[in-house]
Amino acid sequence: MLDTVMIGAVLASVVAAATTLLIASLGELVAERAGTLNLGVEGMMIIGAAVGYATAYSSGSLLLGTLAAVLAGVALSLVFAVLTVWLAANQVASGLATTILGLGLAGLIGAPFVGTRIDAAPELRIPGLTDLPIIGKAVFGQDAFVYASIALLVLVTWGLARTRTGLVIRAVGESHVAAHALGHPVRRIRTLAVMFGGACAGLAGAQLSLAYTPFWASDMTAGRGWIALALVVFSAWKPLWLLAGAYLFGAVSILQLHVQGFGLGIPSQLLSSLPYLATVAALVLISALKRGQGAPASLGVPFVPDR
């Protein structure tokens, strides 16, 4: 007989793990649809996690911690935007430098808080629904970050497809020269898109340190920023595919932990690498299927307006 309580707990853990990836990848998707390849997502996530935790621990307010994390992500994204959008620096090198900067700053900010803990973000409980077998806790018993990620998904999907702003963002990503000729402020649009990506990365970091694992640990993002980047490619730059991809990778991350608990004799190092092996396998499959053809035409190409 299936243990419905255990299955429900596993599903709830998968949703929580997937939320981090979904939030971060949605922000990166918007930045890339505007033509900017931001490899600094990992650094923006870790700085958000550090600043969010430090603020929440010091103030006793999870809300202030979340806002501080978002602002930290935006601040670091502005460094990247100045380099790549306004100074036309190489986007790959600038993104890697941003990640290294974020990791260093996060280690410095978080050092005084190693070994401390805070209360995790409270979970929503709906009488009669949260107690449903299997799906109750997974769907109706999550914290605010989970529901914010779904709202963000709806906003990005609708915004890119149905609004003038979304049309302009996509136009800039497809041909910044044509968009500039039509009078659109390409550099300002790309800067705002990068800032949105930084805000999402900071929010994802806050979810890690304030809800998923309510404590601070150095390098707690553990490569999730890189997986978020791969998810954007996996989704062919379509928001709804991000949902499936994030939950798939979230499931792999959680299931490898449970497999370790079964004592099957499989090396723990191999099991811990499963999310990243899945990332590589997904990218290989995408390459074989040529899904990358959906990339914005001007992605990664610096824009220098005619003077």
The Cα–Cα gap between 253 and 271 comes to: 9
CB 212 within 8 A of CB 46: no
What is the model's pLDDT at position 32? 96
pLDDT digits (tens, 9 = 90+) for 154-202: 999 999 999 999 999 999 999 999 999 999 999 999 999 999 999 999 9
Residues 6+ apart with CB under 8 A from 181: none
The model's confidence at residue 258, banded by pLDDT at 50, 70 and 90, is: low
166 vs 271, higher pLDDT = 166
Residue 304 lies in a domain: no
What is the model's pLDDT at position 161? 94
What is the model's pLDDT at position 277? 79
Q: Is the pLDDT of residue 40 over 70?
A: yes
CA atoms within 13 A on the CB side of 62: 19
Report the percentage of the chain scoring pLDDT > 90: 65
Model pTM above 0.75? yes
Q: Is the pLDDT of residue 259 over 60?
A: yes
CATH code for position 155: 1.10.3470
Residue 305 lies in a domain: no
Residues 6+ apart with CB under 8 A from 36: 81, 84, 85, 91, 190, 193, 194, 299, 300
14 vs 56, higher pLDDT = 56
What is the distance between the terminal CA atoms of the chain, rounded to a whole angstrom?
Answer: 73
Please, is 129 exposed, middle or buried when counting C-beta atoms within 10 Å of its C-beta (0-12, 13-18, 19+)?
A: middle
What is the model's pLDDT at position 92? 95
Number of domains observed in the structure of the chain: 1
135 vs 299, higher pLDDT = 299
pLDDT digits (tens, 9 = 90+) for 207-236: 999 999 899 998 899 889 999 998 998 888
What is the model's pLDDT at position 115? 87
pLDDT digits (tens, 9 = 90+) for 78-110: 999 999 999 999 999 999 999 999 999 999 999
Residue 51 lies in a domain: yes
pLDDT digits (tens, 9 = 90+) for 109-142: 999 999 899 999 998 887 777 878 878 888 888 9
CA atoms within 13 A on the CB side of 294: 15
pLDDT digits (tens, 9 = 90+) for 19-30: 999 999 999 999
Q: 29 lies in which domain range?
A: 4-294
CB 172 within 8 A of CB 179: yes
Residue 299 lies in a domain: no
Residue 84 lies in a domain: yes
Please, is 154 exposed, middle or buried when counting C-beta atoms within 10 Å of its C-beta (0-12, 13-18, 19+)?
A: exposed
CA atoms within 13 A on the CB side of 159: 16
Q: Is the pLDDT of residue 1 over 60?
A: no
Identity (one letter) of the amino acid at 251? A
Section 28-38 average pLDDT: 96
The Cα–Cα gap between 130 and 54 comes to: 31
- Which pair of tokens denotes residue 102? 């974020």
Q: Is the pLDDT of residue 2 over 70?
A: no
Residue 156 lies in a domain: yes
What is the model's pLDDT at position 273? 75
Lowest-pLDDT range of 69-73, 91-95, 136-140, 275-279: 275-279
Q: Which residue reads 């806050």 in tokens?
A: 206
Section 242-260 average pLDDT: 81
CB 18 within 8 A of CB 199: no
Residue 307 lies in a domain: no
The Cα–Cα gap between 173 and 32 comes to: 7
Give me the DSSP letters along 220-255.
Answer: TTTTHHHHHHHHHHHTTT-HHHHHHHHHHHHHHHHH
Q: Is the pLDDT of residue 280 over 90?
A: no
The Cα–Cα gap between 135 and 146 comes to: 14
Section 241-259 average pLDDT: 82
What is the model's pLDDT at position 279? 73
